[in-house]
Amino acid sequence: ISPPNAEVPFCCLTGVTVAHGSMWQLQSMIKEVTGKNAILAYAFYGCYCGLGGKGRPKDATDRCCEIHDSCYQRLKYYGCCAKIVSYKYYYSHGSVLCGELSCDCDRRLVLCLKKNLYSYNKKYRFYLNLCSKPAVQSQL
């Protein structure tokens, strides 16, 4: 397998999925790597999965989404619109290969979600408005 930044001819990769588009690619990548429907399983999960994010992550799955939000924020700081930038990724034998920075954020997310499937808890689905910013600790 070639490194993520290398051009890999599609015809040379067997058992590989290729996708285009940003949120569409993320959704596709989540389904392929975790086996879960991205919208039903993660769109409103915990305090960080989906739009927005505040408070303390509810579990390791939610923490993956918090880290992903931070990754997107870093890209936004440098002028990259990670949610709309199109990219290609390749998924083969448990590895996600890609070259774009927004894809790397998504790749890290899906691998984190896969690693933490054990922590996924249905009670945190559709967990809307039940998260708040952590209390500011005074330094006395």
Each residue of 30-62: pLDDT tens digit?
Answer: 999 999 999 999 999 999 998 878 899 999 999
The total number of structural domains in the chain stands at 1
Range name among 60-74, 78-92, 110-124 with the lowest pLDDT average: 78-92
Residues 6+ apart with CB under 8 A from 108: 67, 68, 71
50 assigned binding-site residue? yes
Query: Do residues 97 and 89 lie in contact, with contact meaning Cβ atoms separated by under 8 Å?
Result: yes
For residue 138, tell me if it sits in a domain. Answer: no
For residue 7, tell me if it sits in a domain. Answer: no
Tokens of 69: 């939000």
Mean pLDDT for the stretch of residues 71-82: 84
52 assigned binding-site residue? yes
- Angle value at C-alpha 92, between 2 and 1, nearest 5 degrees: 15
- Domain CATH for 84: 1.20.90.10
Share of the chain above pLDDT 90, in %: 44
Predicted local distance difference test score (pLDDT) of residue 140: 45
For residue 50, tell me if it sits in a domain. Answer: yes
Helix residue spans in 4-128 (DSSP H): 23-34, 38-42, 60-77, 101-115
Indicate whether this model's pTM tops 0.85: no
The catalytic site residues sit at 68, 106
For residue 102, tell me if it sits in a domain. Answer: yes
Structural domain harbouring 34 = 15-123
